[in-house]
């Protein structure tokens, strides 16, 4: 496949490149978040035999814009006994890393703000900062629900970071590079076929990190009001909400880049392929939200440490062994092998998965 | 060997939700689309037939809320009562229908309407002009099966026929 690559400083000037892509990324994130919120509400509604928002504009397309406007003009309430500075700072700390992630996401060949040679490591590092912002939000609200939600968030992020990173390492081993561009370039076979177990682990872990259902117990509305959101209103609530969906968008983009071949695909222009794949991944996220009930906190922790973590280690070991001992073989050979390995391992681990020495129901 | 615990359960659930994508939404978009209410609905107003009423006051006695006010004068020429005032405070009315059942002359009915919210309490008073049966203020079939037979059939959310759901 011929790869259309733009030069790394595409319009020819470093600063022009920087300015154009910075603006483009901001617009992309804000626009896609609005589209995603609309899309999630509509898709979820259809799956529940409802209609979803359909009043503002055709098919309710302007609903997110109307909601954003409403949030902008709402009163900004700060709890009287809260930590005002931290309360003000938290949404910013939560949102900025989400935008920063997109600096290394390749939209198509060469269309990338900075092709860091440690791209995926940068993403792992920067995306964890969001947890700090969320913990700040929970702490500064001076509210038991906020604090509980924030503590659950930190616990889940710290636990799920490990299987996520370990499953990313499998991809990095296959691609031989940490750069997002190189990872896409290496995917003549999409890595979801070569790393099915890695994909499964990464997807589960990523869902937990961004608090999407079924791991949304940090903002479980039936237990702890709205978690760390509880004391927020107005634009600060809007920013936290934006960070939430920005993370979902980022995870969709990262899954697309790491496992689904990024912007590569036949016929259609690369950017359209990228958007299509991102949309597909987000649809799966919504689909899972419509299906699976919420986990308890002990189930969440057990899943991370007893299920995903050992499987991620084994996946890493098997991938490394394959690359080390059969470097010359065509990669297609590994597709059936890895699928078989995935099925066997998942069945085996499900068999022995227990909570509280078997005294607590799974 | 059962595979529900090994991921099959989740797969089954996912297939259920994806099949719901093809389902028709159950929602009725209220002001534009309306369901036909039950033909025997105890609607939010009373409807009074001035000609049939003899002013006996049975309805007022049957009303345990005391929402019906009736006062009559004697017409010595025709040897009968004439209704001077007939008022219902629908703010107190609980729409039990006892007055309708008590009326010996088929002069009192419950209405077929259910959109009777008002901005002021005073507007909830129905005096004799507001109690006449008109094309907007229809009579419900409550306690009068003959009337019920003339009203459109009730439509339900589970009705598949979309036309049936929209129509009035």
Helix, strand or coil, per DSSP, at residue B73 = strand
- Please give the model's pTM, rounded to 2 decimal places: 0.81
In this prediction, residues B75-91 reach a mean pLDDT of 88
What the block records as the tokens of A115 is 């092709």
Q: Hey, what's the torsion of the CAs at A274, A278, A279, A285, to 10 degrees?
A: 170
Give residue-wise pLDDT tens across range A82-92.
Answer: 888 888 899 99
- Write down the residue that tokens 């689309």 correspond to: B33
As separate numbers, helices (DSSP H) first and strands (DSSP E) second, chain A gives 14, 0
Helix (H) or strand (E) holding B89: strand B80-89
A2 touches B at CB < 8 Å:
no
What the block records as the tokens of A139 is 């702490």
CB A133 within 8 A of CB A94: yes
Provide the CB-side half-sphere exposure for B156 (13 A, CA): 2
pLDDT higher than 70, residue B160: no
pLDDT higher than 80, residue A358: no
B17 touches A at CB < 8 Å:
yes
Distance from CA of A203 to the nearest CA of B (A): 15
pLDDT higher than 60, residue B168: no
pLDDT higher than 70, residue A1: no
Give residue-wise pLDDT tens across range A149-183.
Answer: 888 888 888 888 899 999 999 889 888 888 888 88
Q: According to the model, what pLDDT value does residue B162 have? A: 54
What the block records as the tokens of B142 is 């409550």
Question: ∠A124-A126-A127 over CA atoms, to 5°?
Answer: 65
pLDDT higher than 70, residue A8: no
Q: According to the model, what pLDDT value does residue B99 have? A: 92
| H runs (alpha helix) in A48-83 | 63-72
pLDDT higher than 80, residue A328: no
Contact A45 B25 (CB under 8 A): yes
Give residue-wise pLDDT tens across range A54-84.
Answer: 888 888 888 888 988 898 898 888 888 888 8
A347 touches B at CB < 8 Å:
yes
Which of these ranges, A74-78, A105-109, B126-130, has the smallest mean pLDDT? A105-109
Contact B14 A48 (CB under 8 A): no
- Write down the residue that tokens 């609905």 correspond to: B41
What the block records as the tokens of A212 is 């999407």
Q: Is A207 exposed, middle or buried (0-12, 13-18, 19+ CB in 10 A)?
A: buried
Residue, of B40 and B26, whose pLDDT is higher: B40
For chain B, the average pLDDT equals 84
Residue, of A310 and A212, whose pLDDT is higher: A310
- Cα–Cα distance, A200 to A187 (Å, whole number): 18
pLDDT higher than 50, residue A218: yes
Distance from CA of B12 to the nearest CA of A (A): 10
- Cα–Cα distance, B111 to B90 (Å, whole number): 12
A288 touches B at CB < 8 Å:
yes
Taking only Cα atoms into account, the Rg of chain A, rounded to an integer number of angstroms, comes to 21
In this prediction, residues A233-261 reach a mean pLDDT of 88
Q: According to the model, what pLDDT value does residue B164 have? A: 52
Q: Return the DSSP state at A81.
A: T
pLDDT higher than 70, residue A242: yes
Q: According to the model, what pLDDT value does residue A119 have? A: 84
- Cα–Cα distance, B94 to B91 (Å, whole number): 8
């Amino acid at each position: 496949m011929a790869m259309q690559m733009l030069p790394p400083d595409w319009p020819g000037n470093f600063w022009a490149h920087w300015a154009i892509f910075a603006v483009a990324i901001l617009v992309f994130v804000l626009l896609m978040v609005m589209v995603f919120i609309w899309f999630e509400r509509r898709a979820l509604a259809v799956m529940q035999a409802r209609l979803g928002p359909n009043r503002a504009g055709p098919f309710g397309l302007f609903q997110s814009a109307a909601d954003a406007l409403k949030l902008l003009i709402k009163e900004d309430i700060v709890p009287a006994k809260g930590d005002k500075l931290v309360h003000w700072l938290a949404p910013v700390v939560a949102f900025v890393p989400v935008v920063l992630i997109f600096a290394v996401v390749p939209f198509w060949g060469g269309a990338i703000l900075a092709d860091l040679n440690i791209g995926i490591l940068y993403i792992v590092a920067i995306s964890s900062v969001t947890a700090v912002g969320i913990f700040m939000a929970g702490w500064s609200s001076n509210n038991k629900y906020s604090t509980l939600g924030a503590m659950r968030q930190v616990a889940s992020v710290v636990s799920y970071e490990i299987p996520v990173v370990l499953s990313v390492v499998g991809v990095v081993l296959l691609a031989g590079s940490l750069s997002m561009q190189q990872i896409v370039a290496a995917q003549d076979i999409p890595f979801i076929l070569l790393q099915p177990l890695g994909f499964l682990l990464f997807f589960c872990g990523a869902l937990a990190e961004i608090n999407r259902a079924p791991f949304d117990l940090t903002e479980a509305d039936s237990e702890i009001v709205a978690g760390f959101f509880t004391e927020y209103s107005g634009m600060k609530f809007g920013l936290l909400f934006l960070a939430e969906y920005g993370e979902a968008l980022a995870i969709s983009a990262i899954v697309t880049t790491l496992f689904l071949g990024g912007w590569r695909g036949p016929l259609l222009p690369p950017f359209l392929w990228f958007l299509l794949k991102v949309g597909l991944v987000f649809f799966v996220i919504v689909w899972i939200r419509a299906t699976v009930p919420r986990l308890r906190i002990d189930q969440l922790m057990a899943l991370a440490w007893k299920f995903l973590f050992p499987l991620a280690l084994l996946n890493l070991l098997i991938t490394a062994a394959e690359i080390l001992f059969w470097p010359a073989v065509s990669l297609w050979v590994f597709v059936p092998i890895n699928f078989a390995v995935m099925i066997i391992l998942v069945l085996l681990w499900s068999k022995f998965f227990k909570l509280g020495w078997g005294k607590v129901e799974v | 060997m059962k595979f529900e615990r090994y991921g099959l359960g989740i797969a089954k659930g996912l297939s259920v939700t994806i099949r719901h994508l093809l389902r028709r939404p159950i929602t009725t978009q209220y002001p534009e689309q309306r369901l036909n209410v039950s033909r025997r609905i105890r609607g939010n107003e009373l409807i009074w037939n001035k000609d049939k009423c003899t002013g006996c006051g049975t309805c007022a006695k049957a009303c345990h809320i005391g929402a019906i006010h009736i006062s009559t004068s004697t017409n010595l020429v025709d040897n009968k009562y004439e209704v001077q005032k007939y008022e219902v405070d629908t703010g107190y009315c609980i729409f039990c229908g006892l007055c309708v059942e008590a009326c010996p002359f088929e002069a009192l009915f419950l209405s077929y309407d259910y959109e009777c919210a008002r901005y002021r309490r005073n507007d909830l008073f129905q005096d004799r002009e507001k109690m006449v049966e008109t094309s907007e203020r229809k009579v419900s079939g409550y306690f009068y099966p003959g009337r019920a037979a003339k009203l459109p059939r009730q439509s339900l959310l589970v009705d598949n026929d979309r036309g049936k759901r929209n129509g009035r």
